[in-house]
Structure 1
Amino acid sequence: MQTRILLLSGCRCIALVPAKRKIIPRQGGYMDTNKFRTIVQGLAESYRSGFGVNDSGLSGIPDRASIAKLCDLMLHVVFPGFFAGQQQLQVQVHWVALRRLIADLEDDLHRQLQRAYRFQERCQGVSEKDEKDFLECIDAVTTSFLQSLPEVRRLLESDVQAAYENDPSAPGAEEIIVSYPCIEAIAVQRLAHRLYQLEVPFLPRMMTEVAHSRTGIDIHPGATIGDHFFIDHGTGVVIGETTTIGSHVVLYHGVTLGAFNPLSRNEEGMLERGQANKRHPDLEDHVTVYPGATILGGRTRIGHHCIIGGNAWVTRSVAPWSTVTMADPDLTIRQNSKQGPGDFAI
Structure 2
Amino acid sequence: MDTPQNTALTRALTELPGPLPARGVIHIVIPHTDRFTVVGNHLAQHAGLSTTAVGLAVRIQSLPQGTEIGIKALAARLSEGEKLIAAALRELEAHGYLRRARTRLTNGRVVTRTVFCNQPTALLRNRVGATRPQRPPAPPQAPALPDVQQEQAPEAPDVRQEQAPEASAPQDHAPFVALVQPPTAPRQPSPPLPQPRELTAELDRAATALLSDLRRHASQLVLSESDVRQLAPAVAAWLERDTHPDTIRHTLTNDLPQPLRHPAKLLKHRLTVLLPPPLPGADDLAAPARPRIAVTPFQTCDGCERAFRAPTPGHCRDCRNTHGPAQAAA
Shorter-normalised TM range: under 0.3
Q: Normalization by structure 2: what TM-score? A: 0.27
| Structure number with higher strand proportion | 1
Q: Normalization by structure 1: what TM-score? A: 0.26
